Amino acid sequence: MEIRGAGNMLGAEQSGHIHALGFETYMEMLEEEIGRLRDVPVSKEKEPVIDLKIEAHIPEDYIGDVSVRLNFYRRIALAKDEEGLFDLEDEITDRFGRLPAPAERLFNLMLIKILCKEIRAASVKRAAGKIVVQFFEEGADVLLHMASEPKKYKHKLYFTPNGFEIPAKHIENSEVPNMLLELLKSIAS
């Protein structure tokens, strides 16, 4: 990727800043600054927060070129739907081979985020032996529908005023993304 006049914006020196801030926050800040410089307002779509405390990234030994890796991060973050994300996953595996486990988890987390947007969930977090899913106000209808059919879901759900909790003390970190994907897909259907 070549950006004329960008200097070292995507060079090795900046990768430390991305790591410290987190990729999404870095991309939001970059987008806002570009919009400000161009005098174009940046629309703020409600984004769900996914915090499952699992390692998810594209390893340097899988894609060594930092600019190529950052381009894929950007494209993954911008994927709007499941099909676009799968197409991107196919492109990466065609170019670089089978995805390593951290990259698979990255794609799963982004799919979880896409499904959360679909059902209007505000956040999915793992803390204190449980997974907590909270909804935006616009998602109240989804939550009410779920509460009316609790037997539809494979996992035990404890409903709260603005979401639900799943007991997760005995769920391994590696199992969490697949369990959530299954649950979120059943909610979205």
Which CATH code of 3.90.1150.50, 3.30.465.10, 3.40.50.720, 3.40.50.300 fits the domain covering 45-188?
A: 3.90.1150.50
Segment 101-129, tens digit of pLDDT: 999 999 999 999 999 999 999 999 998 88
Domain spans of the chain?
A: 7-44, 45-188
Segment 61-110, tens digit of pLDDT: 999 999 999 999 989 988 989 999 999 999 999 999 999 999 999 999 99
**How many Å apart are CA 168 and CA 165, to the nearest integer?**
9
CA dihedral 165, 169, 171, 172 (to 10 degrees): 130
**How many Å apart are CA 114 and CA 187, to the nearest integer?**
13
DSSP 8-state assignment for residue 63: S
Pairing of strands 49-51, 121-127: parallel
pTM of the predicted structure, to 2 decimals: 0.76
Q: Which residue carries 């174009």 as its tokens?
A: 40
Pick the range with the lowest mean pLDDT from 16-25, 72-81, 150-159: 16-25
Please list, in sequence order, all residues whose beta carbon lies within 8 angstroms of the beta carbon of residue 34, skipping any fewer than 6 positions away. Answer: none
- Residue of 164, 131, 128 lying closest to 146 (CA atoms): 164
